[in-house]
Amino acid sequence: MALQEEFAKQGIWLFRYRGVLPVIILVIGALLFLQTELHPETFFLKKTPYELYYEMFCLVVSLIGLFIRICVIGFVPKNTSGRTVEKQVADSLNTTGMYSLVRHPLYLGNYFMWLGLAMLPGNFWFLVAFTFLYWIYYERIMFSEEKFLREKFGETYLVWSEKIPAFVPDFKNFKKPNLSFSWKKVVRKEITGIFLLFLIFSVFDYLGVITKNETKPNPFLVYSLIILTIAIIVIKIIKKNTDLLKQENR
């Protein structure tokens, strides 16, 4: 099998199971975080006044990734840039908004979301390994997606892709989105991801408490998690019993 076909085949398989990598990163990161908590001398910020600021900085990095995702999801039409796992779907080609800056903005957002978590253990080599593994993993997926889009949209895709970088944004190419921002779609699609992000940060924070390196949980994370839990319940009730969050073609 030619290398291009092999990459495409691997990308299709990885696309279906792309949720596996975050779990692997999370498990390894949690183990390293526990090691740092049990041996605080391995990370120079442990037991210093700056430890809390570092934790908040990690959260900000993850929120930057979340913001990128919201900027994508909020402006794209239905059946594009989704969370499908069985097959790739694209009823139309997105070329404006975030897609005028970078060809794979969702994966860029995902990288920053998981980078913040990978930073928590304070292990430089884990960050390097995470970045390398993320690139190798998603490179195959991006290759497969681009093959699919090239075959479906032909010359239109080739012209667009020639001037738009794959992963590092080029801001001089920005074009205003064709559609208005849909907060309804963001709420439907991203609220669970927001909740999980704060839940994971809260779990890591609590690991610091039970290992006696922190006196109490971070109140910001605790209150945020409570608010998001209530929001999740309310949104599920609304989605089940009303059409308030539904929107045509979004």
For residue 76, give the CATH number of its domain: 1.20.120
Q: How many whole angstroms from its chain centre is CA 169?
A: 16
Residue 249 lies in a domain: no
Residue 79 lies in a domain: yes
Q: What residues have CB less than 8 Å from 69, skipping those under 6 apart? A: 105, 106, 109, 110, 113, 190, 193
Residue 103 lies in a domain: yes
pTM score over 0.95: no
Residue 156 lies in a domain: yes
Structural domain span for residue 154: 3-180
pLDDT of residue 186: 93
Residue 225 lies in a domain: no
Q: How many structural domains are present in the chain?
A: 1
- Consecutive 10-residue runs of the chain (250 residues): their mean pLDDT? 61 69 84 87 83 92 96 86 55 88 94 94 92 87 85 89 92 91 92 93 89 80 95 92 84
Residue 245 lies in a domain: no
Residue 100 lies in a domain: yes
CB of 62 closer than 8 Å to CB of 112: yes
Residue 206 lies in a domain: no
